[in-house]
């Protein structure tokens, strides 16, 4: 018998959906053969019908549209991401998505190098260093997403195999299915990030035009070319100016903003996919609260809980680098924005953009942590019901499940240095306050100087 083997039990199993071979009734009938490995879809027998993945409430179907859209800016260079069958998702160096990623990485390297050269000339300070950090984070994100894309085909296949059992009874689909939850989170992040980037452009353009209008010593007529050479002077110190390059710089900066926000959005999608399945386990446990339950039911629930914990470990090992990069990025930019709270700004639009950007950044960071912390919260919500199990239904499997829920840390992590839980959010807030007080003391001389002359 060719192909991978399955452990066929004597009793029918609800987990893998494999039908029991009735060898006693038909002894002459040979056991079903496995399909060839090239056509194998999650260890199904040749005699079984392949599931219609497009109609199931699966994580791959919930996120494939967002992942495909992100490939337009070079994120996650995968082939077959739109296929309903996760088996067809693969990573290839010689592919169009990988070519797009390399083009954006080259553009990021140019922007990073031009900013670094510019800062060497004018001198590096705590405030003008932010541009270099931004381009460095985007470049690091591309590298991390390429490494993640290489692991993603194995991750999404293992994920689909694990969650297939949750698409059938006794598990029920919650009121808001997984696709709707992911899409709502994505729309919120995308809409707010577009507003933040749009306000930045409006603030920069109005500041530029008002300065030319109010300064008599500036005889330049407001124009697109002059605006680009004034606000993106660090780029054109390295590259010759042309209208085409200027337009590309604007588009590339917009793409970098998408990448910068997509790091957090991707963590949110992963977190919602994992917490969704733990929520289904909790809902099944709650339905058994006032019923007399046999031990086999608790054996099955604990088996599914263990499978979800194994999936969480597998996903965490693949994307912990992205979590670490995202947390460092958010920590730095929150501290940087808070450093400018007491600074005076020249125009009202500058205040509008600054406070919107600050509140959006803090809200996005908190949203990432709270969404990721839902995994840990959902994994423990069934404890109350399990502890109230009657003596007639009490068994050693209930005790094992309670012990596992209370002792095991079920959460995503940043290279195992820390786990994304609610407790970490408050710890991070305290760290930001501490660092901010130190930074404000060092920045006191700069704040005393006030605004520079408008027409200097």
**Tens digits of per-residue pLDDT, 120-179?**
998 887 778 899 999 999 999 999 999 999 999 999 999 999 999 999 989 988 888 899
Q: Kindly state the tokens that stand for 317.
A: 């090992």
- Which position has the higher pLDDT, 133 or 6? 133
Query: Which pLDDT does position 23 carry in this prediction?
Result: 34
Q: Residue 449: pLDDT band by 50, 70, 90 thresholds?
A: low
What mean pLDDT comes out for the span 220-230?
Answer: 89
Query: Which pLDDT does position 443 carry in this prediction?
Result: 66
- pTM of the shown model: 0.86
Query: Which pLDDT does position 446 carry in this prediction?
Result: 64
DSSP state of 39: G
Stated as kind and residue range, the H or E segment containing 173 is none
Judged against a pLDDT cut of 50, whether residue 235 lies above it is answered with yes
Of 70, 59, 317, 335, which is closest to residue 189 (Cα–Cα)? 70
What mean pLDDT comes out for the span 343-363?
Answer: 90
Query: Which pLDDT does position 213 carry in this prediction?
Result: 84
| Helix, coil or strand: residue 293 | coil
Tell me: the pLDDT tens digits for 397-438? 999 999 999 999 999 999 999 999 988 888 888 888 887 777
Judged against a pLDDT cut of 50, whether residue 211 lies above it is answered with yes
| Helix, coil or strand: residue 5 | coil
Stated as kind and residue range, the H or E segment containing 117 is helix 96-122
Cβ–Cβ under 8 Å, residues 114 and 235: yes
Q: Residue 355: pLDDT band by 50, 70, 90 thresholds?
A: very high
Q: Residue 50: pLDDT band by 50, 70, 90 thresholds?
A: low
Of 415, 407, 416, which is closest to residue 379 (Cα–Cα)? 407
Tell me: the pLDDT tens digits for 67-100? 999 999 999 999 999 998 999 999 999 999 999 9
- Which position has the higher pLDDT, 241 or 10? 241
Please tell me the distance from the alpha carbon of residue 324 to that of residue 349, in angstroms, as a whole number.
Answer: 34
Q: Which residues of 213-252 are buried (b: 16+ CB within 10 A; e: fewer)?
A: eeeeeeeeeeeeeebbeeebebbbeeeeeeeeebeebeeb
**Omega of the bond prior to 170 within 30 degrees of 0, cis?**
yes
Q: Kindly state the tokens that stand for 416.
A: 């195992």
> Cβ contacts of residue 4 below 8 Å, gap of 6+?
34, 37, 40, 43
């Amino acid at each position: 018998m060719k192909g991978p083997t399955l452990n066929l039990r004597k009793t029918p199993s609800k987990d893998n959906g494999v039908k029991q071979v009735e060898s006693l009734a038909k002894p002459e009938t040979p056991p079903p053969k496995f399909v060839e490995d090239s056509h194998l879809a999650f260890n199904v027998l040749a005699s079984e019908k392949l599931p219609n993945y497009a109609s199931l409430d699966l994580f791959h179907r919930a996120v494939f549209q967002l992942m495909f859209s992100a490939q337009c800016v070079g994120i996650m260079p995968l082939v077959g991401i739109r296929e309903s069958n996760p088996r067809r998702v693969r990573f290839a160096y010689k592919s169009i998505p990988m070519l797009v990623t390399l083009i954006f990485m080259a553009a990021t390297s140019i922007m990073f190098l031009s900013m670094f050269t510019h800062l060497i000339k004018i001198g590096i300070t705590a405030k003008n260093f932010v541009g270099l950090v931004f381009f460095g984070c985007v470049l690091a994100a591309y590298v991390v997403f390429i490494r993640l894309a290489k692991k993603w085909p194995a991750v999404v296949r293992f994920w689909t195999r694990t969650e297939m059992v949750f698409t059938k009874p006794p598990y029920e689909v919650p009121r808001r299915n997984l696709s709707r939850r992911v899409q709502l989170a994505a729309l919120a992040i995308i809409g707010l990030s577009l507003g933040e980037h749009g306000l930045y452009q409006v603030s920069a353009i109005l500041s530029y035009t008002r300065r030319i209008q109010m300064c008599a010593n500036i005889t330049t007529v407001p124009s697109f070319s002059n605006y680009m050479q004034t606000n993106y002077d660090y780029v054109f110190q390295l590259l010759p100016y042309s209208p085409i390059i200027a337009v590309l710089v604007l588009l590339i900066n917009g793409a970098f903003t998408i990448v910068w926000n997509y790091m957090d959005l991707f963590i949110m999608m992963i977190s919602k996919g994992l917490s969704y399945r733990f929520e289904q386990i909790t809902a099944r446990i709650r339905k058994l609260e006032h019923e007399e339950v046999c031990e086999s039911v608790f054996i099955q629930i604990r088996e599914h809980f263990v499978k979800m914990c194994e999936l969480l470990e597998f996903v965490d090992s693949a994307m912990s680098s992205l979590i670490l990069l995202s947390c460092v990025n958010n920590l730095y930019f929150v501290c940087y924005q808070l450093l400018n709270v007491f600074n005076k700004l020249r125009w009202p639009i500058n205040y509008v953009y600054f406070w919107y950007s600050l509140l959006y950044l803090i809200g996005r960071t908190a949203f990432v942590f709270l969404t990721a912390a839902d995994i840990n919260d959902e994994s423990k919500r069934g404890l109350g019901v399990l502890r109230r199990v009657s003596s007639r239904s009490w068994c050693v499997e209930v005790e094992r499940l309670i012990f596992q829920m209370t002792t095991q840390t079920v959460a995503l992590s940043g290279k195992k240095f820390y786990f994304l839980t609610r407790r970490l959010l408050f710890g991070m807030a305290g760290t930001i306050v501490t660092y901010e007080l130190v930074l404000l003391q060092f920045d006191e001389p700069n704040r005393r100087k006030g605004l520079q002359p408008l027409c200097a």
